Structure formats: C-alpha cells, structure tokens
Structure 1
Amino acid sequence: MEQRIQSYDALFELMPEMGAQKELLGCECAQPEYCFTHYLEPGYKEEDILVEICQSVTEKKQDSGQITFKVFLKVSKAACIFYKGSYNTLHKSYAMLLQYIEENGYEICGSIRESYIEGVWNKESEQEWLTEIQIPVGTGSLTQCIC
C-alpha cells in the first residue's frame, strides 16, 4: 500500500487500514511474517513522506484500489541494525547505521526498509517493540550495487 503521509505517526493508522484491505482480498500472511515500511524517496523528511507499507503474503491476488501486489527483487547485501523501543528514538539507530556505512566505504543502493518484528499488535510496552532497519548497500560498482 503506497501513500504519502504527513508524519510518521500516520503509519499507526495506515498499517491497520492495510490489514483490513488484505482481509477483504482474502490474503494470508506468509510465515514467518515479514512486514516492512519502504521509504520511496531519498533522504530523511519530517513530513510529506512517500511510503510503501508491505506485508509478505502466500499468494498474489488481484490489485485493488488501495493494494498493489509486487514481487521484490532479492537484496544481495544490506547494512542492518536491530532497535528495541519506542519509534520516537529510532533515529539514533539510523545515525549509527549510516555512520557504519560511510566509515566502511559502502554506498546506499536501494530504498531503506524498517521491518517490524514486535510492536503494538503483540507487545503492551513500547520498550518491547523490535524493529530492524535494513539499508541496501554496495561498493560503488554497478554490478555490486544492484538491489
């Protein structure tokens, strides 16, 4: 589900909406579950953010007005970090991961993903939420930077 949102808080409304749309289409989540937000524009923005909310499913259905089914290419290499806690301080993990990428001579070569492993749907406390930030990277060569 692709949408332009005014702030990151809008994700809390968009994700349940996508879940309801999936149910109407008869989708079943693949196991293990893989849900992520895909940021479609480069750089960090506080507002007017173009996102794609994704959930792996067992089969591709007919696209609806709100949901589009896609097959993503395999990412060959990514810099990743796990973050546990409220989304309000997620930016600190981003800073650490981006510093690692720069210090190790990598280049970002794809859209950044946030994979939600534990969250509001199964944990009562924000301190228990677990997110994995995934940034596709390469070494600059076109053959090594295809994601």
Structure 2
Amino acid sequence: MASSDVEPENGDDPSETPPPSENNDDFNAAIKSGSEMEASEPDASAQAPPPRPTYEDQVPGVRFLASLLKATIFTDLFVYHADLRFAHPTKQERVDALNEAHPVFYKLCRNSDYVMRIALVAITVGLAGTAAWGTIHRLFYA
C-alpha cells in the first residue's frame, strides 16, 4: 500500500493544505524579528493621567451635602407606591399610571422634594452665616 492510498485521520485533504513554507512569510518574519504581527491595544490605565480631585473630594462634608441635595425621598415614595399598585412591564409605565390615578399625590411628592432641598440649603447657609458672623464678631468686636 502506498502512502498516497492512506487517508488522513482528521478528514483533511492533503492537497488542500499548503506546505509549511507557503503563506507563512509574515509569520516567519515576525518570529525572526521578535515583533508582533499586530500591535496590542495600549493599556488605558498606563497612558491616562490620574483624575483631578474634585471639590467634593477635597472638602470634608461636601460629598454628604451633595448627596442630600440629590436625594428625592418623596418622589422615591411615589415610585414605591407605583410599583406596589400597578403591574405594568416598565417602571415608567407604572409611575405614569399612578400619576394619572393620583395627580395630587404626585405633585405633593415632587413639591415636597423641592421644599426639602430649599430647607436644606437655607439651613446650610444659616449655619455658615452664623459661623462667619461669630468669627467676625470675635475678631473685630470682642
């Protein structure tokens, strides 16, 4: 039996596979030069400068105050009730359905959030003003 009569085990036709020296010029050149055929993507963390610290990171308490100003306690209450009352597929549809059923409750929740923010700003400004007045009064009038 000749070697050409033996069929390959993996089912490949030996006439279709190129000899090792063909179509491998780029590969062989890359191996000899020790370079990659395609450049790797640059590491983003190595090239990017470190982020600049924000005002919230530099001053203690500012992050807490900012989180209080972003809080929507009463609107979250409205959304919670919408989730309990309606079984629509999306949260927005449930909130819209509760808004149509109880528009006064929606306005009350939204306005309560605004009043809470205004009160928080007023308290913060009042405390800062009182501290400034106490410092000025002690420095110049005491």
Q: Which bin holds the TM-score, normalised by the shorter protein?
A: under 0.3
Q: Of Structure 1 and Structure 2, which has the larger fraction of its residues in strand?
A: 1
Q: TM-score, normalised by structure 2?
A: 0.23
Q: Of Structure 1 and Structure 2, which has the larger fraction of its residues in helix?
A: 2
